Amino acid sequence: MPRARRRLLRPTLAALSLSLWLVGAYAQSPLFSPDGYRIDLYRSPTPDQLQGATIVDTAAVQALLDQTPRPLLIDVYRRQWLQGRFIEDQPHENLPGSHWLANTGDGELTPQWQAYFADNLNKLTSGNLRQPLVFYCRSDCWLSWNAVKRAASLGYQSLYWYRDGLDAWQAANLPVTPASPAPFP
């Protein structure tokens, strides 16, 4: 191989090696499960993209709510679960018309919590995998990121991530309603 061509390949091989190393480091990070779900430090800065979903801001959520079909709002904020029931340690509010599927944004779900998530989505959408779904939590919260990723793995196709969630909604002085999580079987 001519020397000039070898020099051209060196940066490409170096970049490829770095990319492969970064992918490996991400997969082995203690912050993510082997399946790529965030499993720790849920309240920290979130990425500005999510494969399989459209990221929306407050104005976009309001516009979506005026469309047909109207999207379902899915709140995945955590609620303490103790001795087979949700414990209300503090009141929670969400966007009007939301469905609160508490704890379904955790990075690792037991089969029972996975079924709670999948069964509720199936019931809410009447099995329509094209039903638009808007997932949210709070700002800088990985729970909604995980939930969107999980919904995509179930085959849902019209997914939106309201990345700044309830905090942005309230900052815009929009109404909220008292919330209760969907009952856990």
Q: Are residues 11 and 94 in the same domain?
A: no
Q: Are residues 5 and 67 in the same domain?
A: no
Q: Are residues 73 and 157 in the same domain?
A: yes
- Which residue range forms the structural domain that includes residue 2? 1-30
CATH number at residue 127: 3.40.250.10
Tens of pLDDT, residues 59-97? 999 999 999 999 999 999 999 999 999 999 999 999 999
How large is the angle between the packed helices 111-125 and 142-153, nearest 10 degrees? 70
Residue 20 pLDDT > 90: no
Residue 41 falls inside a structural domain: no
Q: Are residues 25 and 96 in the same domain?
A: no
Return d(Cα 174, Cα 136) in angstroms, integer: 15
Per the omega criterion (within 30 degrees of 0), is the bond before 45 cis?
A: no
For the chain, the domain total comes to: 2
Q: Are residues 22 and 99 in the same domain?
A: no
Residue 90 falls inside a structural domain: yes
pTM score > 0.85 for this model? no
Q: Are residues 79 and 155 in the same domain?
A: yes
Return d(Cα 119, Cα 129) in angstroms, integer: 13
Q: Looking at residue 29, what is its pLDDT?
A: 64
